[in-house]
Amino acid sequence: MTEKKPHVAVIGGGLVGALNACFLAKRNFKVDVYERRDDIRKAEHVKGRSINLALSTRGRTALRMVGLEEEVLKNGIPMHARMIHGVDGSRNPILYGKEDQYIMSVDRRRLNEVLLSAAEDNPNVTCYFEHKVVRCDFTTGEVEFINKEGKKVQNKVDLIVGNDGAFSAVRKEMMRATLLDFQQEYIPHGYMELTIPPSPKDEFQMEVNYLHIWPRNEYMMIALPNLDKSFTCTLFMPFDIFASIKTEEDLMRFFRDKFPDAIPLMGEETLKQIYMSSKPLPMVSIKCSPYHVKDKGVIMGDAAHAMVPFYGQGMNAGFEDCIVLDEMLDKYNNDFAKALPAYSEFRKVDDHAICDLAMYNYVEMRKSVNSKLFLMRKKLDNLLFTIFPSSWVPLYTMVAFTRTRYHECIEKRKHQDEILNKVLYIGGVILFGSLAVSVVQILNQNGVSIHSLKDHFTQLWEAYF
């Protein structure tokens, strides 16, 4: 018996949609990718402002499964450690772990291009650009688009896969079709991308193989290296602070106060020019459940779980989603009616966990983390990891360098926190005890005996009562 090939519409040709198309193509489905924007491979290159992302183990594993890991790594820059910048201009590196534990700085656009081309290399994949989804029917599998001429076009498929980002149209349609819980939260911080260009000698202006971090509580800045020897900096701060920095003088005063070492690297004029011509962008955290409707629709990537970027895991989580769906389709022999609910049920806890972890980091980093505290906490984490390599894996290590399910990372961390609290408690008792002994010794050396001390306190006591 020859069955008809399943026909799948992937909505969104961003990072997750393009990768998902590669996964689904391997199953020999007929795959149509619909992307609202024009083909980024044709759009003009904007030099000097490449936007990059941190790719870690989960994302890399997914790329490996579709045979693209090497090609992507070739155009990436490894970051073996964070480099913590103090207000005084000091720089302190802290390793991520062993030699093979590093995250990769990759160019978002180049990655998207590689993924789209790889998807299209499959004869069973077709990409349609300038096609915006406006309607989905999860009973019939009909999808309606508006194309570049503003005309409505339709298609009828066996499965609609929503990979259309945080403001997903597919998700909106699912909310009309099923009992979908939905939760969205904007944070008071915005972000702005700035740049550190290559030096006049065309060299990197800072140590290249690092994730550069300027922790300043409420204000945070990071920088990731690019292949063209520039760094893309991301400045995170509350919208009202962005709004209060109105003039070039305000801006320079602010930078001299908080990020003085970055001024000569960015160049005063470039900094002013970019800041004055940019708007801070919002960050949103979105959780929903379930991720599917019957056997006809499923959402993945940011469409299912947008998160604040304080863990560098959004894309990685979306890529791991693709692995999980692939495994469920294997397990249930491409039976969508079984694979979709199983996917939704299995993955929900982990996607919710990474959204929580990202939000937790946001709260944690601005609550108390200046550069000294950042260094101390990471050093303590690394120290404990060296002493107890199997029982103390730092949370960041679990999240970035393993495929431990996100919800298990949280559980393990809770357990570690309990141990840490005990260690600190015992440490405190020992410290207090030894302090008391020292005090008595010092007093003894000065001719004060414990007995006379005792008499002294007894007299005091009696004087009062």
Residues forming contacts to ligand FAD in the complex (CB under 6 A) are 11-17, 34-37, 53-54, 132-133, 163-165, 169, 191, 234, 301-303, 309, 312-316, 318
Sole window of 2-10, 164-172, 175-183, 360-368 interacting with ligand EGO (rule: CB under 6 A) = 360-368
Tally the C-alpha atoms within 13 A of residue 460's C-alpha that lie toward its C-beta: 6
Identify which of residues 145 and 210 has a Cβ nearer to ligand EGO in the complex.
210
- Binds ligand EGO by CB under 6 A, chosen from 12, 309, 314, 341: 309
- Which of ligand EGO, ligand FAD, none is residue 34 near (CB under 5 to 8 Å by kind)? ligand FAD
Q: For residues 411-430, which are near ligand EGO according to CB under 6 A?
A: none
Q: Are 118 and 132 in contact (CB under 8 A)?
A: no
- Closer by beta carbon to ligand EGO, 14 or else 341: 14
Residue ranges in 207-246 that form contacts with ligand EGO under rule CB under 6 A? 211, 213, 220, 222, 236
For 80, 304, 310, the CA distances from 77, given in Å and listed in that order, are: 10, 29, 20
Residue 36 interacting partner from ligand EGO, ligand FAD, none (CB closer than 5 to 8 Å by kind):
ligand FAD
- Closest residue by beta carbon to ligand FAD: 14
- Residue 72 near which of ligand EGO, ligand FAD, none (CB within 5-8 Å, type-dependent): none
| Contact indicator for 147, 153 with CB cutoff of 8 Å | yes
CA triple 377-378-380, angle to 5 deg: 65
What is the C-alpha to C-alpha distance for residues 311 and 290, in angstroms, rounded to an integer?
24
Q: Which amino acid is at 13?
A: G
* C-alpha span between 32 and 160 (Å, rounded): 10
> Token pair for residue 4?
């008809």
CB of 310 to ligand FAD, least distance (A): 9
- Window contacting ligand EGO (CB under 6 A); options: 19-27, 158-166, 276-284, 309-317: 309-317
Contact indicator for 281, 235 with CB cutoff of 8 Å: no
Between 53 and 395, whose beta carbon lies closer to ligand FAD?
53
Q: For residues 227 and 420, which CB has a smaller minimum distance to ligand FAD in the complex?
A: 227
Query: Which of the stretches 15-23, 175-183, 308-316, 344-352 binds ligand EGO when contact is defined by CB under 6 A?
Result: 308-316
Nearest to ligand EGO by Cβ — which residue? 312
* Distance (Å) of CA 19 to CA 12, 16, 26, 235: 11, 5, 11, 29
Packing angle of the helix pair 314-331, 15-26 (nearest 10 deg): 20
180-188, 252-260, 298-306, 358-366 -> range binding ligand EGO (CB under 6 A): 358-366
Instruction: Find which of ligand EGO, ligand FAD, none residue 7 binds, CB within 5 to 8 Å per kind.
Output: none
Nearer to ligand EGO, 68 or 83 (CB): 83
Please pick, from the candidates 23, 102, 242, 310, the single residue that binds ligand EGO as defined by CB under 6 A.
Answer: 310
DSSP 351-414: HHHHHHHHHHHHHHHHHH-BHHHHHHHHHHHHHHHHHSTTT---HHHHHHH----HHHHHHHHH
Q: Where in 36-95 is the site for ligand EGO (CB under 6 A)?
A: 54, 82
Write down the least CB distance from residue 49 to ligand EGO, Å.
Answer: 17
Q: Which does 163 bind (CB under 5 to 8 A by kind): ligand FAD, ligand EGO, none?
A: ligand FAD
Sign (positive/negative) of CA torsion 99, 101, 107, 110? positive
Nearer to ligand EGO by C-beta: 24 or 79?
Answer: 79
> Number of residues in contact with ligand EGO, rule: CB under 6 A?
20
Could you give the string, one character per residue 98-127, with x where binding to ligand EGO holds by CB under 6 A and - elsewhere? Answer: -----x------------------------
Q: How far is it, in rounded angstroms, from Cα 77 to Cα 218?
A: 28
> Are 141 and 296 a contacting pair, CB within 8 Å?
yes
For the purposes of burial, counting CB atoms within 10 Å of the CB of 404, is it exposed (0-12), middle (13-18) or buried (19 or more)?
A: middle
Nearer to ligand FAD, 275 or 392 (CB): 275
Residues 362-401 that bind ligand EGO (CB under 6 A): 364-365, 369, 374, 377-378, 396
104 by DSSP, 3-state: which?
strand
Residue 187 or residue 245: which is nearer to ligand FAD going by CB?
187
Cβ atoms 230, 206 nearer than 8 A:
no
Question: 241 vs 26, 218, 244, CA distance in Å?
Answer: 49, 10, 5
DSSP class of residue 335? -
Can you give the C-alpha Rg of the chain in angstroms? 27
Residues at the contact surface with ligand EGO, assessed by CB under 6 A:
54, 82, 103, 211, 213, 220, 222, 236, 309-312, 361, 364-365, 369, 374, 377-378, 396
